[in-house]
Amino acid sequence: MGEVILGGAEVSGELATAILHVLRSSGTCSDNEVEAVQRKLKFRPGVGVFMPDHKGRVPFGRRKTGKYDDGTWCLPGGGLDWGESIEDSSVREALEETGLESEYLGQVCTHTYMNVEHDSYHVTIYTLVRVLPNQNIYLAEPEKFYEWRYFDLDALPAPLAFLDTARAAARCAEVLADPNKLVAWECRP
């Protein structure tokens, strides 16, 4: 993975992601400049969205054949669209995949993964949303998922599509038990 010079300092990984987000949000860097840095670092930040129901259970989708293993389970989520905030991406991904409208509450945790084989770096920001009332989950993207099911955070489905989901679920359980542990800051212009 390449390193990037920002403001005379050599940075990479989570620090570069955070700096680029702030610079992009504030208008300090153009879209083209930030996109060039992201290409060099070979990463696209993504979100994994926890959407607890009234019993504290969260939906997991069973994936169809595609980029990841057929039959594995994952949270709603995906890559941030260019220029999109974490907040907006979380709400958009939840709606696109589950059909549920929601309200962003904050960040649960962030996990990183380096894929040496593909020389890429993955950053997943796990977030928490509140599902708006009077809705039912449905298969909004049947070409990507077989089904959606609710699971307790201490009884996750197997196999999981992403290795860090179990650790993020444990952190989400902590946040649900003590909402003061939620990271609620925003970076918007």
Residue 188 has a pLDDT of: 47
pLDDT band at 183 (very low <50, low <70, confident <90, very high): confident
Instruction: Kindly state the helix (H) or strand (E) to which residue 62 belongs, with its residue range.
Output: strand 58-63
Residue 30 has a pLDDT of: 72
Tens-digit pLDDT profile for residues 124-143: 999 999 999 999 999 999 99
- Partners of residue 30 on adjacent β-strands: none
Q: How far apart (Å, rounded) are the C-alpha atoms in residues 29 and 25?
A: 9
Task: Delimit the domains of the chain by residue range.
Answer: 1-41, 45-181
* Local structure of 146: helix, strand or coil: strand
Residue 58 has a pLDDT of: 98
Q: How far apart (Å, rounded) are the C-alpha atoms in residues 78 and 162?
A: 12
Residue 85 pLDDT exceeds 60: yes
Q: How far apart (Å, rounded) are the C-alpha atoms in residues 48 and 156?
A: 15
Q: Decide if domain 45-181 falls under CATH 3.90.79.10.
A: yes
Residue 189 has a pLDDT of: 45
Rounded to an integer, the average pLDDT of 34-38 is 66
Q: How far apart (Å, rounded) are the C-alpha atoms in residues 180 and 88?
A: 22
Tens-digit pLDDT profile for residues 56-74: 999 999 999 765 578 999 9
Average pLDDT, rounded, for the chain: 82
pTM of the model: 0.76
